[in-house]
Amino acid sequence: MIEMQHKFNGYQCSLCGATYGVEEVSYTCPKDGGNLDVLLDIEALHNLSPKQLILTKEQSLWRFLPLLPVGDPKGYHTPLRVAGSTPVFKPEKLAQELGTGNLWIKDESRNPTASFKDRASAVVVARAREIDAEVIVTASTGNAGAALAGMAAAVGQKAVIFAPRNAPPAKVAQLLVFGAKVLLVDGTYDDAFDLTIQAAEEFGWYCRNTGYNPFTAEGKKTAAFEIWEWALRIASNDEEAHLESAANLLSRLSVFVSVGDGNIISGIHKGFKDLQRLGWIDRMPRLFGVQAEGSAAIANAFLAGAESITPVSASTLADSISVDLPRDGIRAVRAARETNGAYILVSDGEIIASIATLGEVGIFAEPAGATSYAGFLRAIRSGVIGVDDPVLIINTGSGLKDVKAAMEAVSPAPVIEPSLAAVKRVLK
């Protein structure tokens, strides 16, 4: 076993507030099943500056290793070492059309397996290596599984994936090509989720399940760290001198992200909370969760002001955020509530339209990825945010993962005979 570094003090239940030591628990709160927050050893870090803590030579999420509750997973020169550090684009054309001044898109489709989930899986793989786990298992509609399969393959770690039988073929192909053992469960994502937990217990596997394993949010929080670094960079860039300082930019920023089980938005929230505890930021950005109307369990709770999540019978073409029972719903509600953000619902039609809109500026998003942009459009049209507010939208996954949805977003291309006359005809 690699030496445990004890870079964290333990866990705290997000429901009852009970705290646990590093070795006491592995997944959720034994008392009430609540999601556990990893408690960083802030005391040990507090007197250190970003310069002392951030491994700036790393062009990946591992630049934040000192702020993660895991040791160095090694795996140099593998896909594991290039997760994160995704680009932030400035789609001028869309900003102009909307009359907004300050619009940015963080493109998570550029992760190694083409989705945001690589962040979580990379950190869970690091944790698995540290605790000497032989097999990692997860339930997944696709992206989380592909991310686990890819990150595990990168370093020779065994992975087992339970996917619902109706997961898109492109995502299942990725799992299989990465050499994971894949079991297609004849049931829902939730059936696969429960089965995974049973199997992990039965076979001694390490369970990566989203909204269950506390380390997934720790991986996802690195996106918040990158947004913070991006704000520093933008604010110090001469070109962008009309922009405010990083602190001012961050405090006025609205971040839009699609929400399924709730773990991405709570992971991002955790990242900003860590930065606040470290004293590196003052105020957090507003976090906006966007759900499909047909899979709105968390948005429903937010809008009702509820402190519990009522399951729905989910139905949306955005398969990555189609979830009956979100496993990280409470923290996801709080992420918006505690940052003066909100939840926004969008239709499948708006999601499809947003795929085409993002494509026009060179970003190819899967439906769940375009959902955040659709939510931003709603927010700006309804005045929830102002046209001058700086906005960062997160595209969570690549459109190549769901070509069928992409085809719905566009008109088919005309077929022509190979002649100039035919070209002239279709160009009119």
Decide: is 413 part of the binding site for a second copy (CB under 8 A).
yes
Rg, C-alpha atoms of the chain = 21
316, amino acid identity: T
* Nearest distance, CB of residue 328 and a second copy, angstroms: 21
From residue 151 to residue 170, what is the string marking binding to a second copy with x (rule CB under 8 A)? Answer: xxxxxx------x-x---xx
Question: Which CB sits closer to a second copy, 110 or 277?
Answer: 110
Applying CB under 8 A, the span of 171-179, 216-224, 319-327, 336-344 interacting with a second copy comes to 171-179
Decide: is 406 part of the binding site for a second copy (CB under 8 A).
yes
* Nearest distance, CB of residue 399 and a second copy, angstroms: 6
| Residues 36 and 27 sit within 8 Å (Cβ to Cβ) | yes
Task: Determine how β-strand 254-258 pairs with β-strand 286-292.
Answer: parallel
Question: Which CB sits closer to a second copy, 183 or 384?
Answer: 183
In 3D space, the residue among 63, 65, 105 whose CA is nearest the CA of residue 85 turns out to be 63
Question: Which CB sits closer to a second copy, 305 or 412?
Answer: 412
From residue 249 to residue 288, what is the string marking binding to a second copy with x (rule CB under 8 A)? Answer: ----------------------------------------
d(C-alpha 329, C-alpha 212), whole Å? 11
From residue 120 to residue 149, what is the string marking binding to a second copy with x (rule CB under 8 A)? Answer: ------------------------------
Applying CB under 8 A, the span of 10-18, 216-224, 308-316, 409-417 interacting with a second copy comes to 409-417
What DSSP state is assigned to residue 359? H
Buried b / exposed e over 66-100, threshold 16 CB at 10 Å, is ebbbbbebebeebbbbbbbbbebbebeebbeebeb
The residue from 39, 70, 82, 342 that contacts a second copy (CB under 8 A) is 82
Decide: is 317 part of the binding site for a second copy (CB under 8 A).
no
In the range 41-80, which residues lie near a second copy by CB under 8 A?
59, 76-80
| Residues 220 and 271 sit within 8 Å (Cβ to Cβ) | yes
* Nearest distance, CB of residue 253 and a second copy, angstroms: 16
Decide: is 90 part of the binding site for a second copy (CB under 8 A).
yes
* Nearest distance, CB of residue 31 and a second copy, angstroms: 25
Question: Which CB sits closer to a second copy, 144 or 344?
Answer: 144
From residue 197 to residue 236, what is the string marking binding to a second copy with x (rule CB under 8 A)? Answer: -xx--x----------------------------------
In 3D space, the residue among 54, 40, 47 whose CA is nearest the CA of residue 5 turns out to be 40
Question: Which CB sits closer to a second copy, 69 or 112?
Answer: 112
In Å, what is the CA distance from 350 to each residue of 28, 317, 367, 377, 408?
35, 11, 10, 9, 12
Q: Is 53 helix (H, G, I), strand (E, B) or coil?
A: helix
* Nearest distance, CB of residue 59 and a second copy, angstroms: 7
The residue from 20, 27, 62, 178 that contacts a second copy (CB under 8 A) is 178
Task: Determine how β-strand 158-164 pairs with β-strand 36-40.
Answer: unpaired
148, amino acid identity: L
The residue from 34, 150, 329, 369 that contacts a second copy (CB under 8 A) is 150
| Residues 269 and 227 sit within 8 Å (Cβ to Cβ) | no
Please give the angle made by the CA atoms of 366, 370 and 372, to the nearest 5 degrees. Answer: 135
d(C-alpha 349, C-alpha 371), whole Å? 10
* Nearest distance, CB of residue 208 and a second copy, angstroms: 16
Question: Any idea of the CA torsion for 351, 354, 359, 363, to the nearest 10 degrees?
Answer: -80
List, in order, residues 6 or more apart from 409 with CB less than 8 Å away: 352, 353, 355, 356, 359
Question: Which CB sits closer to a second copy, 12 or 60?
Answer: 60
From residue 318 to residue 337, what is the string marking binding to a second copy with x (rule CB under 8 A)? Answer: --------------------
Question: Which CB sits closer to a second copy, 2 or 184?
Answer: 184
In the range 346-405, which residues lie near a second copy by CB under 8 A?
355-356, 359-364, 398-401, 403
User: How far is C-alpha 205 from the chain's CA centre?
Assistant: 24
